[in-house]
């Protein structure tokens, strides 16, 4: 493994909801964790995208200490070119905006003393998850994050590489068109990116809340009488009310979760059908952590009712053995940002790509 630095590394994880910071120590430990709200369009609805980007750059630069030759690893919640680090779009941060943004150049202009390493947040989470001893001998690992946005990445553990397409992308499943239903009737909702019918429109954190609103409009009396609708109407936060209602076996909450996990199951079913070398599908993110066992049970319910042709009949536990729901800290984008920076994955010239088809990751064997 090549080492970019022997010093401690400042690591930052930028999501649609939170901007987290920590110090990554040699050996992989994290200390001095902090968290603050991200400067997103939801937090500052009157701000332009340029103003949000400027605010982001300022906050990231101010988070880096004034030490000699500082090194920073950033896990960034956006679709970006994994060969160059160019940010294409971030619906959770900037909404419908999709004009490419050279984040590295903006950061370097403000803090030229810093060596910046930028990777996508899902890539960072996968790097950390894939480094666990129990996964090092897998052929391939797919990690999907279900949070304010949705995306996945697949790593080939045998080569330590993440394949990318001609735009340097892989796994932007949150913006795949999907079919969604409530009580057997189709429902069409709009994604944060501005397009209708995307996976994230229903299954991301904001998407689940939108689907709940659609359910409340369709069945107002049932919603109002439910263990989900009553607390929500009384001012309880939606996420808290949903988890409590699921814990209480509320039918409305169960129907909602069934509806929003169905398109996720469909995407994962297809991925596992097309690539039987996927030895594990790791689910992470705020939605998964918040709903825990309820989320996995709903997802596996779909995969049990409609599994893989013949495989599910001949090997009934094949899918169950491959679906893992992580707890907080088990696929940590902050730790992954430290791995990326310490191994030189995203150096100043961008992420090195092998023959233009894969990102060489230097994952510890």
- Options 1.10.357.10, 2.40.50.140, 3.30.420.40, 3.90.550.10; CATH for 134-325 is 3.30.420.40
* CA-closest candidate to residue 324, choices 174, 147, 144, 72: 144
pTM > 0.85: yes
What pLDDT is recorded for position 14?
A: 95
For residue 217, give both structure tokens.
Answer: 């409009």
Predicted confidence (pLDDT) per residue in 156-183, tens digit = 999 988 899 999 999 999 999 999 999 8
Phi and psi dihedrals of 354, rounded to 5?
-85, 115
Could you give the CA distance from residue 143 to residue 120 in angstroms, rounded to a whole number? 13
- 200: how many CB neighbours lie within 10 A of its CB? 29
Could you give the CA distance from residue 74 to residue 120 in angstroms, rounded to a whole number? 8
What pLDDT is recorded for position 233?
A: 81
* CA-closest candidate to residue 296, choices 331, 320, 263: 320
Topology (CATH level 3) of domain 9-127+330-360? Nucleotidyltransferase; domain 5 (3.30.420)
Judged against a pLDDT cut of 80, whether residue 346 lies above it is answered with no
Predicted confidence (pLDDT) per residue in 223-279, tens digit = 999 999 999 888 889 999 999 999 999 999 999 999 999 999 999 999 999 999 999
DSSP string, 162-224: EE--TTS----GGGSB---EETTEE---B-TTS-BTBHHHHHSHHHHHHHHHHHHHHSHHHHH
Give the residue range(s) of CATH 3.30.420.40 domains in the chain. 9-127+330-360, 134-325
What pLDDT is recorded for position 6?
A: 56
């Amino acid at each position: 493994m090549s080492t970019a630095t022997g010093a401690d590394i400042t690591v930052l994880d930028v999501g649609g909801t939170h901007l987290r910071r920590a110090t990554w120590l040699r050996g992989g430990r994290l200390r001095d964790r902090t968290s603050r709200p991200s400067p997103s369009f939801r937090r500052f609805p009157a701000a332009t995208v340029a103003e949000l980007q400027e605010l982001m750059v300022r906050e990231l630069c101010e988070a880096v200490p004034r030490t000699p030759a500082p090194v920073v690893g950033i896990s960034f919640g956006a679709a970006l070119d994994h060969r160059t680090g160019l940010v294409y779009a971030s619906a959770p941060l900037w909404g419908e905006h999709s004009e490419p943004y050279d984040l590295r150049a903006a950061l370097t202009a403000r803090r030229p003393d810093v060596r910046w390493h930028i990777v996508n947040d899902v890539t960072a989470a996968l790097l950390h998850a894939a480094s666990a001893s129990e996964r090092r001998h897998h052929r391939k690992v797919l990690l999907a994050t279900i949070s304010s946005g949705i995306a996945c990445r697949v790593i080939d553990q045998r080569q330590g590489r993440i394949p990318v397409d001609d735009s340097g992308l892989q796994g932007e499943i949150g913006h795949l068109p999907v079919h969604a239903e409530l009580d057997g009737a189709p429902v069409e909702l709009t994604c944060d990116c501005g397009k209708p019918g995307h996976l994230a429109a229903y299954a991301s954190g904001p998407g689940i809340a939108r689907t709940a609103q659609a359910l409340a409009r369709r069945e107002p009396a049932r919603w109002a009488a439910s263990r989900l609708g009553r607390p929500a109407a009384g001012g309880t936060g939606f996420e808290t009310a949903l988890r409590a209602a699921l814990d209480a076996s509320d039918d409305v909450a169960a129907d909602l979760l069934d509806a929003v996990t169905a398109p996720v199951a469909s995407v994962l079913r297809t991925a596992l059908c097309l690539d039987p070398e996927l030895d594990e599908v790791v689910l992470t993110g705020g939605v998964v952590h918040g709903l825990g066992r309820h989320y996995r049970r709903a997802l596996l319910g779909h995969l049990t009712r409609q599994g893989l042709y013949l495989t599910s009949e001949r090997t009934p536990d094949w899918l169950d053995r491959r679906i893992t729901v992580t707890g907080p800290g088990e696929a940590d984008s902050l730790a992954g940002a430290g791995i990326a920076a310490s191994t030189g994955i995203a150096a100043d010239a961008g992420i090195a790509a092998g023959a233009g088809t894969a990102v060489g990751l230097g994952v510890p064997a």
